[in-house]
Chain A
Amino acid sequence: MAGLELLSDQGYRLDGRKATELRKVQARMGVFAQADGSAYIEQGNTKALAVVYGPHEVRMSRSKTLHDRAVINCQYSMATFSTAERKRRPHGDRKSTEMSLHLKQTFEAAVLTNLYPRSQIDIYVKILQSDGGNYSACVNAATLAVIDAGIPMRDYVCACTAGFVDETPLADLCHAEESGGGTSLALALLPRGGHIALLQMDARLHQDHLETLMEAAMTACKGVSKVLDQVVRQHLQEVSALTGE
């Protein structure tokens, strides 16, 4: 029994997309009333929910207060029912802590923290269904949630994964493509200036291919940013219509 064919000769992937096409992205902002900001995103079958509280006073451990900027506190977790087999420990395992750290780094780069000294911004992200590109979905959801909360950012932060099969870069990998043993790279980008907030890959890749892979990932991120932008504008329209302006 052979493994799955990730890219057919005609250029179609497992789910029928071409190499550079993204999955269907649907997002909604303001899903929770009680949080300061919230957003829900679906990238293909990956569903992520992000909730933002803040800026507020630093709650736990006063010592963490920074005198000139806000502290960003991120927490990433996966629902036990998010993967094909039920997960036993959704919190505290190494993957989650690593992801939380990455999110924190990403948002510290994007959010204008120096406008809120001595305060804390909490970002909680939960994966409801995991089908590849977990980190990217989190980042995108968190961006929307931060915008929903009204916290100023330098630019949208858009993330996307990219992989490599047979000299061809694939954008936005699904779970089968990620776990096939090939390369997978996650990139978080601030699209307007082209600044990279986070680049992560743990696989082996020949250095000649790195350029092409990053290019593909950046193009994909720009595609995602267009969608996010669309979503934000639509949300604004709805909100302003509701508030009657």
Chain B
Amino acid sequence: MLKSKTFVKKTRSGGIMKIVREHYLRDDIWCGSEFCTECKQDESVLQKDACIESNLCVFPHYLLPDTNVVLSQIDILEDPLIKNVIILQTVLQEVRHRSAPIYKRLKDILHDKEKHFYTFTNEHHRETYIEREPGESANDRNDRAIRVSTKWYSDHLKNARTEEGLRIVLLTNDRENKDKSEEAGLLTYRCEEYIKSLIANPELVDRLALTNDDKNDITSSKVLFPEHLPLSRIQSGIKSGTFLQGTFRASRDNYLEATVFVHGEGDESTEVLIQGLQNLNRAVHQDLVAVEMLPQNQWVGPSSVVLQDEGPKDDDVTGDDEEEKALKGAVVGAGPRKPTARVVGIIKRNWRPFCGMLFLSQIKEATRHLFTPADRRIPRIRIETRQASTLAGQRIMVAIDGWPKHSRYPNGHFVRSLGCAGDKETETEVLLLEHDVPHQDFSQAVLSFLPKMPWSITEEDMAVREDLRHLTVCSVDPPGCTDIDDALHCRDLPNGNQEVGVHIADVSHFIRPGNALDQEAASRGTTVYLTGRRIDMVPELLSSNLCSLRCNVERLAFSCIWEINEKAEIIKTRFAKSVINSKASLTYAEAQMRIDDTSMNDDITKSLRGLNRLAKILKRQRIEKGALTLSSPEVRFHIDSETHDPIDLQTKELKDTNSMVEEFMLLANISVAQKIYEEFSECALLRKHPAPPPSNYDILNKAAKSKNLVIHTDSAKALADSLDAARVDNFPYFNTLLRILATRCMMQAVYFCSGMDSDFHHYGLASPIYTHFTSPIRR
């Protein structure tokens, strides 16, 4: 028999569409019961002997739950005790519509043969299909359908019964439904009373979920989060002091916790803790938010629990509530209480496209899926896409559109796909995007400012520069380095002192201030070195060729030349723009070999030996002043030349030559700093490293105390000495570990202008003044 279903739907653009669908009714849908002799089914799912021991229903019976019972009590249905249950197609479809995870669990139960759950396609059965009456709501119609099916089942099996009656028990929590079905003569119980009647299994009562059963709360747009206040309210609140403004930083380890850095006067910024989903109120990492402090009795300490947002949740917060309670439980007694607040409004969103992977929905034909970003501080994003199956194993980029207050996750859209996950190219791309490294090719505008090849030094350039092409200058760099920033030379002077020169590539000759090339380099900020790939700050023509101090070619440089005596004291310093001709581009290993090889005695080797000797003295002097040698283990990958896959891993060893180059670079930077401060005392660009406050050293002290060692942190020298002395027998790596920890305690070094501050001290290098002058190609 053919019926037709007509309903009106609202389209995305706001129009109205009338949908007409055919609806066939069949007579060959069987009841699925073993008991039944009428139905010609192939295999019966519901058993004849369906007995669950209950003092309400002492006879064999089948259970028939309605939608709300399934949605709220899915745990009970999953229990192995509950068998022989009829799930109607109406109920199944409604569950699918309202909750994907519960739908999946229900389907798993249906597939489990041991549970004897049967799906009855009541919508297409001629006798159990009903049409909506005028004035009846959709929910009422579904409830009526359930009642009609129950009645049909009872009558159907009544005919088939022999001695003991096989009854159908309707489980519903809805009072109206219950009343109406009892009027119709059906056996109905509330889920609670039925479960409590199972005397043989009292533990099932524990699995009962508490529900709000009197109201038919089917609307999925529950308000989960408090409203954001309008901008005017926020601004007046900040002015009056009720609210504070700050940057929102999500916690990497705990998705229910975050800190807001409130901007105070000057450099100060106080940290305020935010805990709990409601208090977080839809703020995303790096947004500018307005917070309201909570009263002191509600302050909490930062939790020591690591929590991750697991699994796709529904639009309700019940799952998160449990975790929040666990969080609060763990917090009591963890760490000191910190000022706590809650987010009342967002001043400025700071959303960008995020990289990550798609987490497919449980329902096959679903178009909405959850996207998990690579950065753990960003929440999952719900996106709508039809190409979910193609995107499943790939890294994709998704941008957030908004976060409505009834939705557990923000909504977003797919931007583009980056490639298969695990593929080296894709992962590199993800890395660069996540850390905001500009890595596109240089634009035409930028490239237009490069000098035309072939380039050579012109007469005018020579006229204003010192000609140092005759000096035995050499450069020492890591193997495979093409951007050579610096070169050194050392030669004996007739008066017994030595002349040492550090020559830095003259990049400012090629990049004039303000042009596109300068701006692009400024925006990139630095050259990024990845294994097997290097993303240049300036185009390759400059970085690897014209600026780079390659050997046996004339190059423009900026030289810093000292006259140093044998005790490594500086007698004279002078600076000059120059032209050099490097005689050799050595690697650290090659330079070391030359120094050690007593048979080699050419100019380059003699120069290297001189530099090495002086460097050692300089280093000793620095250490006496309290310079820190902290350990940042650097590893080096060996890449197979054919497959470009890493085949070996080695930690970089520090040779004498590494430290030799380092010493002279430091010396050059210090000398330049002194000179520019002399000349431009109000506006010299310097670099300082403030001493860390004693509280920063807490973790270092804790670690050292665990091995009964003491680290003195009052001055840099004391720290350096106690780090040297801190050794444990049979645990040689301990010293390296302590040094790594010490690195974590340090403050960040900063650039500053000499006129704005009076303290120039560089703590880590134990130098009264410092700047960055060397390595201009990559900084």
- Once A9-B107, A15-B22, A84-B19 are accepted as A-B contacts, the answer to whether A3 and B4 lie under 8 Å apart by CB is no
Q: Is A168 an interface residue (CB 8 A)?
A: no
The answer to the question of B119 belonging to the interface, with a C-beta cut-off of 8 Å to chain A, is yes
A5 within 8 A of B: yes
**Given A8-B121, A9-B107, A84-B17, A16 and B26 touching (CB < 8 A)?**
yes
8 Å CB contact of A10 from B18, B24, B25, B121: B121
Of the stretches A139-147, A174-182, A216-224, A235-243, the one at the interface is A174-182
* B124 partner, pick from A12, A45, A176, beta carbons under 8 A: A12
Contact status A2-B96, CB under 8 Å: yes
B20, B93, B110, B111 pick with most chain A CB within 10 angstroms: B20
Task: Decide if B386 is an interface residue (CB 8 Å cutoff).
Answer: yes
Q: Shortest CB–CB separation between residue A25 and chain B, in angstroms?
A: 11
Residues of B within 8 Å of A45, CB to CB, are: 4, 20-22
A174 and B21 contact, Cβ closer than 8 Å, known pairs A2-B363, A3-B365:
yes
CB-based contact B364/A17 at 8 Å:
no
Contact among A6, A9, A23, A24 with B119 in the assembled complex (CB-CB below 8 Å): A9
Residues of A near B93 (CB, < 8 A) are 5
- Whether a CB of chain B sits under 8 angstroms from the CB of A1 is yes
Q: Give the contacting residue for B368; candidates A1, A4, A6, A181; CB below 8 A.
A: A1
Task: Tell whether, in the assembled complex, residue B23 and residue A15 are in contact, meaning their CB atoms are under 8 Å apart.
Answer: yes
> Known: A23-B22, A45-B4, A45-B20. Contact between A12 and B121, CB under 8 A?
yes
Say yes or no: is A14 at the interface (Cβ < 8 Å to chain B): yes
Q: What residues on B are CB-neighbors of A2 within 8 Å?
A: 96-97, 100, 361, 363, 365-368
Chain A residues in 8 Å Cβ range of B365: 2-6, 180
Q: For window 4-48 of chain B, which residues contact chain A by CB distance below 8 Å? A: 4, 15, 17-26
Contacts of A10 in B (CB 8 A): 119, 121
List B633-650 residues whose CB lies under 8 Å from chain A. Answer: none
Neighbouring B residues of A6 by C-beta, 8 Å: 365
Min distance, Cβ A6 to any Cβ of chain B, angstroms: 7
Q: Are A3 and B121 in contact (CB under 8 A)?
A: no
A174 to B5 CA separation, bound complex (whole angstroms): 14
Q: A93 near B: Cβ within 8 Å?
A: no
How many of A's residues come within 8 Å of B, CB to CB? 26
B100 vs chain A, min Cβ distance (A): 7
Given A15-B22, A16-B123, A23-B22, CB of A5 within 8 Å of CB of B96: yes
Contact of A181 among B123, B361, B386 (CB under 8 A): B386
Residue numbers in B under 8 Å from A12 (CB-CB): 121, 124
| Per-position binary interface string of chain B over residues 568-595, scored 1 when its CB falls under 8 Å from any chain A CB and 0 otherwise | 0000000000000000000000000000
**B-chain residues with CB within 8 Å of residue A181 when the two chains form the complex:** 386
A44 within 8 A of B: yes
CA distance A233 to B211 in the complex (A): 64
Q: Does B736 contact A (CB under 8 A)?
A: no
**B565 on interface, CB distance cutoff 8 Å:** no
CB of B71, distance to nearest CB on chain A (Å): 15
A16 pairs with B21, CB closer than 8 A: no
Interface residue? A245 (CB, 8 A): no
A84 to B6, CA, bound (A): 12
In this assembly, does A85 line the interface, its C-beta being within 8 Å of a C-beta of chain B? Answer: yes
- Contact B100 A16, beta carbon cutoff 8 Å: no
CA gap between A114 and B18 in the complex, in Å: 48
Please classify how large the interface on chain B is, using the bins under 10, 10 to 19, 20 to 34, 35 or more.
Answer: 20 to 34
Question: Which residues of B lie under 8 Å from residue A9 when comparing CB positions?
Answer: 107, 110-111, 119
Known: A8-B89, A45-B4. A16 touches B386 (CB 8 A): no
Which positions 88-135 of chain B face chain A at CB distance < 8 Å?
89, 93, 96-97, 100, 107, 110-111, 119, 121, 123-124
Tell me the bound Cα distance from A43 to B22 in angstroms. Answer: 11
Which of B20, B21, B96, B97 lies at the interface centre, i.e. has the most chain A CB atoms within 10 A of its CB?
B21
Instruction: Report B669 CB to chain A, min CB distance, Å.
Output: 62
Residues of B within 8 A of A85 (CB): 15, 17
Point out the residues of chain A lying under 8 angstroms from B363, CB to CB.
2-3
- Closest-CB distance, A12 to chain B (whole angstroms): 5
Bound form: Cα–Cα A180–B24 in Å: 20
Give the docked Cα–Cα distance between A12 and B119 (Å).
12
The interface residues of chain B lying within 8 Å CB-to-CB of A15 are 21-24
Q: How far is the CB of A231 from chain B (nearest CB, A)?
A: 18
> B residues within 8 A CB of A17?
24
A23 to B21, CA, bound (A): 12
Within 8 Å CB of B25, what residues of A? 16
Whole-angstrom distance from the CB of A129 to the nearest CB of chain B?
Answer: 9
Q: Which residue of B lies closest to A12 (CB)?
A: B121
Q: How far is the CB of A176 from chain B (nearest CB, A)?
A: 7
A14-B17 CB under 8 A given contacts A1-B368, A4-B365 = no
Q: Which residues of A in the span 74-106 have a Cβ within 8 Å of any Cβ on B?
A: 84-85
Residues 127-152 of A contacting B (Cβ, < 8 Å): 131
A181 to B24, CA, bound (A): 23
A1 and chain B: residue at smallest CB distance = B368
Are A16 and B23 interface neighbours, CB within 8 A?
yes
B2 beta carbon closer than 8 Å to chain A? yes
Q: A2-B97, A2-B100, A12-B124 are in contact. Are A44 and B22 (CB under 8 A)?
A: yes
Q: Which of B111, B361, B364 has the most CB of A within 10 A?
A: B364
A29 to B452, CA, bound (A): 83
User: Cα distance A17–B18 when bound, in Å?
Assistant: 22
Please tell me if the beta carbons of A3 and B24 are within 8 angstroms of each other in the complex.
no
Expressed in whole angstroms, the Cα–Cα distance for A180 and B111 within the complex equals 25
CB 8 Å contact bits of B390-419 with A (1 = contact, 0 = none):
000000000000000000000000000000
> Among the interface residues B23, B111, B365, B366, which one has the most CB atoms of the partner chain A within 10 A?
B365
In the complex, chain A residues whose CB is within 8 Å of the CB of B15: 85
Given contacts A2-B361, A3-B367, A5-B364, contact A16 B20 (CB under 8 A): no
Q: Which residue of A lies closest to B123 (CB)?
A: A16
Which residues of A sit under 8 angstroms from B386, Cβ to Cβ? 181
Distance A1 CA – B4 CA, assembled complex (angstroms)? 23
Closest B residue to A129 using CB positions: B20
In Å, the complex CA distance between A105 and B776 comes to 73
Give bound CA distance, A241 to B352, whole Å.
78
CB within 8 Å of A: which B711-738 residues: none
A45 to B3, CA, bound (A): 11
Q: Mark each residue of chain A from 1 to 40: 1 if its CB lies under 8 Å from any CB of chain B, else 0.
A: 1111110111010111100000110000000000000000
Q: A14 and B119 in contact (CB under 8 A), knowing A2-B96, A8-B89? A: no
A44-B22 Cα distance, complex, nearest whole Å: 7
Residue of A whose beta carbon sits closest to that of B362: A2
Which B519-573 residues have C-beta < 8 A from chain A?
none
What's the nearest-Cβ distance from chain B to residue A224, in Å? 17
Q: Which of B113-159 contact A (CB under 8 A)?
A: 119, 121, 123-124
Chain A residue at minimum C-beta to C-beta distance from B9:
A84
Q: Is the CB of A3 within 8 A of B22?
A: no
Q: CA A150 – CA B446 in complex, angstroms?
A: 77
A1 to B15, alpha carbons, bound, how many Å?
A: 19
Q: How far is the CA of A55 from the CA of B19 in the complex (A)?
A: 41
Chain B residues positioned under 8 Å from A44 (CB to CB): 22
Contact partners of B89 in chain A: CB under 8 A: 8
Chain B nearest CB: distance from A171 CB in Å? 14
Chain B residues, CB < 8 A from A3: 363-367
11 further interface pairs, Cβ-Cβ under 8 Å (given A8-B119, A85-B17, A131-B20):
A1-B97, A2-B367, A2-B368, A3-B365, A9-B119, A12-B121, A15-B22, A15-B23, A17-B24, A45-B4, A84-B19
Chosen A-B contacts, 28 in total, with CB atoms closer than 8 Å, are: A1-B97, A1-B366, A1-B367, A2-B96, A2-B363, A2-B366, A2-B367, A3-B363, A3-B365, A3-B366, A5-B93, A5-B96, A5-B365, A6-B365, A8-B121, A9-B111, A10-B119, A16-B25, A16-B121, A16-B124, A23-B22, A24-B2, A24-B22, A84-B18, A84-B19, A85-B15, A174-B22, A176-B21
Instruction: Identify the B interface with A (CB < 8 A).
Output: 2, 4, 15, 17-26, 89, 93, 96-97, 100, 107, 110-111, 119, 121, 123-124, 361, 363-368, 386
The 7 closest A-B pairs by CB, nearest first: A3-B365, A16-B124, A2-B366, A16-B24, A2-B363, A15-B22, A84-B17
